[in-house]
Amino acid sequence: MVKVLETFQKTKNLFIDLLFPKFCVGCSGEGEWLCSKCAQNIVPVVSQVCPKCGKLNAQGRYHVNCRKGIALKGIIAAAYFEEGPVREMIHNFKYNGVTALGENLSVLMANALARNFQLSISNFQSIPNDQLKNFTNENYLKTEKCKIENYILTFVPLHWRRQAQRGYNQAELLAEEVAKLTGLKTAALLEKRKSTKRQAELSSRSRQENLKNAFFVKTPISLVGKKVILIDDVTTTGSTLNECAKVLKEAGAKEIWGLVIARG
Ligand SMILES: [Zn+2]
Ligand SMILES: [Zn+2]
C-alpha cells in the first residue's frame, strides 16, 4: 500500500513537471527552479556555531558546558535560512514536490561538509554544476584528505504515513545526493515508528516529549566505532537530530554529527 501511494505521488509529480513550466522559487522568473541570479544570493555558513548557545564554535560543535544530555557532537549548517532564496527553496523542496531543488541544496551541504571535515576537493571535480564554484572554499584544497571511509551518511526518517503522503523523504533525497557528491556511503539506519506532531508547533520541552520513543535503529549492520553524519533539512532546537543521535549512540556509533541545509 505504501509503495502504491509513493508510486502514485511520484507519477503525479512527474505530470506536474510536464504540464507546468518551471518558475524560479526566488524571483518567479520562468525557466528554472532556481535562476543563477538568485543562486548568487545564497549565503553559505562559513563560521559554524554551537547549536545550544549560538556562539561561534568550529565545526558547529557543542561546547563542553552546552552538551548536557546531548548525543550529537555538533550540527553543521550549510546556508543562512533568511538570506536569498534559501527559505523558499526548502519550502518548495519539502512541501511542493519540487524535488529537483534537492540537487542545489545538496551541493551546499556537500560543500559545508567538505569545509568542516576537510574532504579532498578531488571528490567534487566531476559535478557539472556551475554553482559549485561559488561555494568552494579554497582553504580545503590545501588541507589533508581525511579518511572518509570511517563515516556513514544517514538521514532522519519519516513515519511511513507521512512519507506515503509526500511521496518521498526530503532528508533521504538530500543524503543520496550528498553521498554522490562526496563519495561517502549512505545507509538507511533509522526508522520512525511513532507518528509525531509537527515540532514547529511545540514548546522546547514538549518537543522532547513528542519525540520520545519515536526513533529506532533498524540496521542489522554494526555501528560500533563508526562515525555517522545525520542529515535533515532544517533544525531549530536540534531535538529531532539529538533524539536520532541518542539511538545511534546506543547502537554503538562512536560519533554523530548533524548536517542540515539551514537553522530555521
Ligand atoms: Zn531567480
Ligand atoms: Zn555553546
Task: Kindly state whether residue 101 falls inside one of the protein's structural domains.
Answer: yes
> Per-residue pLDDT tens for 53-73?
999 998 999 999 999 999 999
132 pLDDT more than 80: no
Name the residue with higher pLDDT: 37 or 190: 190
Reading the block at residue 149, the C-alpha cell is 571511509
List beta partners, residue 192. 159, 215
CA of 84 to the centre of ligand 1 (A): 10
CA of 24 to the centre of ligand 1 (A): 5
pLDDT score recorded for residue 185:
86
CA of 86 to the centre of ligand 1 (A): 11
CA of 116 to the centre of ligand 2 (A): 18
Task: Scan for cell 514536490, then name that residue.
Answer: 97
pLDDT score recorded for residue 118:
65
Structural domain boundaries enclosing 168: 48-263
Nearest residue to 231 via CA among 179, 180, 168: 179
Task: Kindly state whether residue 41 falls inside one of the protein's structural domains.
Answer: no
pLDDT score recorded for residue 188:
94
173 pLDDT more than 70: yes
pLDDT score recorded for residue 139:
34
Name the residue with higher pLDDT: 37 or 3: 37
CA–CA dist 21, 232 (Å, integer):
28
DSSP string, 222-257: --TT-EEEEEEEEESSSHHHHHHHHHHHHTT-SEEE
Closest ligand relative to 53 C-alpha = 2
Task: Kindly state whether residue 42 falls inside one of the protein's structural domains.
Answer: no
Task: Kindly state whether residue 77 falls inside one of the protein's structural domains.
Answer: yes
Q: How many domains does the chain have?
A: 1
CA of 25 to the centre of ligand 2 (A): 34
CA of 32 to the centre of ligand 1 (A): 8
Task: Kindly state whether residue 20 falls inside one of the protein's structural domains.
Answer: no
Closest ligand relative to 22 C-alpha = 1
Q: What is the mean pLDDT of residues 26-38?
A: 91
Q: What is the mean pLDDT of residues 81-110?
A: 93
Name the residue with higher pLDDT: 110 or 231: 231
First-last CA distance in the chain: 33
* pLDDT bracket for residue 83 (50, 70, 90): very high
114 pLDDT more than 60: yes
pLDDT score recorded for residue 199:
78
CA of 70 to the centre of ligand 2 (A): 12
* Crossing angle for the helix pair 101-117 and 86-95, to the nearest 10 degrees: 120
Task: Kindly state whether residue 10 falls inside one of the protein's structural domains.
Answer: no
Task: Kindly state whether residue 70 falls inside one of the protein's structural domains.
Answer: yes
Task: Kindly state whether residue 21 falls inside one of the protein's structural domains.
Answer: no
CATH number of domain containing 119:
3.40.50
Q: What is the mean pLDDT of residues 196-209?
A: 81
pTM for the whole thing?
0.84
Reading the block at residue 42, the C-alpha cell is 545564497
